[in-house]
């Protein structure tokens, strides 16, 4: 597609439920990133994929968070047993290569609200 | 540890004025400094970026000034327009194959007509 597509755009879930967030990167972009944006905070790195591999998962806040990427394309971020502190905008970005100077292209994000 | 500190948190400028946003970094290994612009409901978009081998980079009304010795860089928006109203993030990263950007907390810019 022309840009990075994320779905759903908004998600309201009850505390304790599991949620799945989807990211469709730009075709041909080998690198994919998930960031989290909380109110008044910057963008917090969660995980990086190169192809289907995730060499850096260091930003995942807890073992309730996991992510996968299939076919070198679509990625899913899963949050199990959601907590109120998980409420945030989850942003996906992709880039043509793995270096920062390639520039990230971000999707519009998924706004997650845990009630 | 916040590696990139951004100020101010919010900024109000009159149309035609100059908007200035500042960032400071700690990690001297950083050698790539982009600025991202984010409109409500959208993801951040790359605006302009600089490497430390130059002290200034200009693209249209947007200029990055870089001070390597002070470990600071800033974004200047000349002739600010209401359409520039957005949140601006500075970021820093290491070159080569390094993939991770460290972002500042953002500045909400409002340009009044």
- pLDDT at position A72 is 87
Return the SS3 of B90.
Answer: strand
- pLDDT at position B2 is 61
Residues from chain A that touch B34, judged by Cβ atoms under 8 A, are: 100, 103
* pLDDT one-digit tens code per residue, B13-60: 999 999 999 999 999 999 999 999 999 999 999 999 999 889 999 999
Query: CB distance from A104 to chain B under 8 Å?
Result: yes
- The first and second tokens of residue B110, run together, are 């409002």
Which residues from B are below 8 Å from A when comparing CB atoms? 4, 6, 9, 32, 34, 36, 41-46, 49, 89, 91, 93-106
- pLDDT at position A1 is 54
- The first and second tokens of residue A90, run together, are 């989850």
- The first and second tokens of residue A84, run together, are 């109120």
**Spatial contact of A94 and A5, defined as CB atoms under 8 Å apart:** no
* Rounded mean pLDDT, A92-104: 87
Q: In what order do the strands lie in the sheet with B72-77?
A: B4-7, B19-25, B72-77, B62-67, B56-59
C-alpha span between B105 and B89 (Å, rounded): 7
**Spatial contact of B8 and B21, defined as CB atoms under 8 Å apart:** yes
* pLDDT one-digit tens code per residue, B64-79: 999 999 999 999 999 9
Query: CB distance from A30 to chain B under 8 Å?
Result: no
């Amino acid at each position: 597609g022309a840009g990075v597509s994320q779905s759903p755009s908004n998600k309201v879930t009850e505390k304790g439920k599991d949620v799945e967030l989807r990211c469709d990167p730009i075709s041909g972009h080998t690198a994919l990133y998930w960031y989290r944006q909380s109110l008044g905070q910057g963008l917090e790195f969660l995980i990086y994929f190169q192809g289907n591999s995730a060499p850096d998962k260091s930003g995942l806040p807890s073992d309730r968070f996991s992510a996968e990427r299939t076919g070198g394309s679509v990625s899913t971020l899963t949050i199990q047993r959601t907590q109120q502190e998980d409420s945030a905008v989850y942003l996906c970005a992709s880039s043509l290569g793995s270096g920062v100077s390639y520039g990230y292209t971000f999707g519009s994000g998924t706004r997650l609200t845990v009630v | 540890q916040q590696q990139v500190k951004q100020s101010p948190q919010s900024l109000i400028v009159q149309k035609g004025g100059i908007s200035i946003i500042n960032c400071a970094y700690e990690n001297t290994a950083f050698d790539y400094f982009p600025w991202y612009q984010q409109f409500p409901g959208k993801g951040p978009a790359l605006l302009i970026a600089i490497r430390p081998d130059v002290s200034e980079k200009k693209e249209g009304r947007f200029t990055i000034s870089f001070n390597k010795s002070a470990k600071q860089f800033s974004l200047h928006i000349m002739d600010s327009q209401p359409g520039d109203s957005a949140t601006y993030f500075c970021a820093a990263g290491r070159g080569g194959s390094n993939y991770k950007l460290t972002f500042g907390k953002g500045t909400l810019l409002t340009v009044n007509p």
